[in-house]
Structure 1
């Protein structure tokens, strides 16, 4: 299946260190078979969407990029990026109540991003980022479990195409 997506120009199979592309059906199959998710068997090959593959996915999934968000947590700081201010605010409102973290009041900094790299293959004209700091809160697994189950139900940001 992955080899046929590669042959159609929808994905590329590339060695992460050398940049070499697996081009033939045999090279693709061999590269992906060697990458068995075991550290001793890592082949160095990864697959990723091409511009054509991204456009195909968008035509099938019809994403609403204004509802898309991504985030990153590092030691005592977090970043949330989203395709709309409203989405970024909703994500911040949720994540800033994590009972295992204590938000440092006034630490949030909002930035407009122009352009915004929503994914490695999709750049939008605008995005929004909030960067905030926190300290570790009390370790209460029960409280965290309850909190994680109360996340507001959100409309998906893309459709799930049936194949």
Structure 2
């Protein structure tokens, strides 16, 4: 695999990725990546086809389409085939995940998945953190508490549970993890604190472009 292949695996490492986002003028911006390999559409379709034929990714209609695409021509047509409630995208297979791990050497003990959960209208804002340990989850909550984003965690609302096994991503499972749920109350945003928040230390080696 070359650098483009590795970059494409990294893009879909956490979530399946819509094909049309790869065809944006600056795909790294749409995908929240540091940079992109500056490929042409033809090159993109060829690399996706290469990965699909070798079983590293599945290219299919999202969210649950069963038909898989393999040829560059099929993939090129699929990039433009956006519908109101569906689109074509790609996801890593376990083999693709293992190929990414071999290059990226992730430290899953430091991986944290955190975000806001949908709640009924009028209910307090709810958040969830998943991490390899209670300590890592609590550290993430403390980070949220000091971030100044306008959502102040309520410690009395914390509910934790052990995850055995832990479905870390859609393709990766670990023997054990921890989930922490909590609610927040609105406070004034502190833009200065948000801007001064320290950068997260990388938990895997990014593809060098």
Scaled by the length of structure 1, the TM-score of the pair is 0.83
Secondary structure of the residue aligned to 1:4 is helix
Cα offset for 1:121? Answer: 0.7
CA contact 1:7–1:25 (8 Å) conserved in 2: no
Cross-structure match for 1:63: 106
- State the Cα deviation string for residues 10-45 of structure 1 (Å, max 9, x = none): 11101124321113332223213445xxx67x8621
Choose from 176, 179, 184 the match for 1:129: 179
Q: How far, CA to CA, are the matches of 2:155 and 2:75 in structure 1?
A: 51
Cross-structure match for 1:19: 66
Query: After TM superposition, where is structure 1 displaced by more than 4 Å over at least 4 residues in a row?
Result: none
Scaled by the length of structure 2, the TM-score of the pair is 0.66
- Counterparts of residues 99-138 of structure 1 (less than 5 Å): 99=148, 100-138=150-188
- State the Cα deviation string for residues 37-90 of structure 1 (Å, max 9, x = none): xx67x8621101111110000000000000001112035110011123332122
Pair 1:159-2:208 in alignment: no
Farther-moved stretch of structure 1 (95-104 vs 4-13): 95-104
Return closer, same or farther for 1:63/1:156 CA change in 2, 3 Å cut-off. same
How many residue pairs get aligned? The number is 155
Cross-structure match for 2:115: 72
RMSD after superposition: 2.2
Cα offset for 1:97? Answer: 3.1
Unmatched 5+ stretches in structure 1? none
Q: How far, CA to CA, are the matches of 1:84 and 1:105 in structure 2?
A: 18
Q: How far, CA to CA, are the matches of 2:53 and 2:79 in structure 1?
A: 14
Unmatched 5+ stretches in structure 2? 1-46, 120-124
Cross-structure match for 2:50: 4
CA contact 2:160–2:179 (8 Å) conserved in 1: yes
Higher strand share: 1
- State the Cα deviation string for residues 129-154 of structure 1 (Å, max 9, x = none): 1100112223x4xx1x2222332344
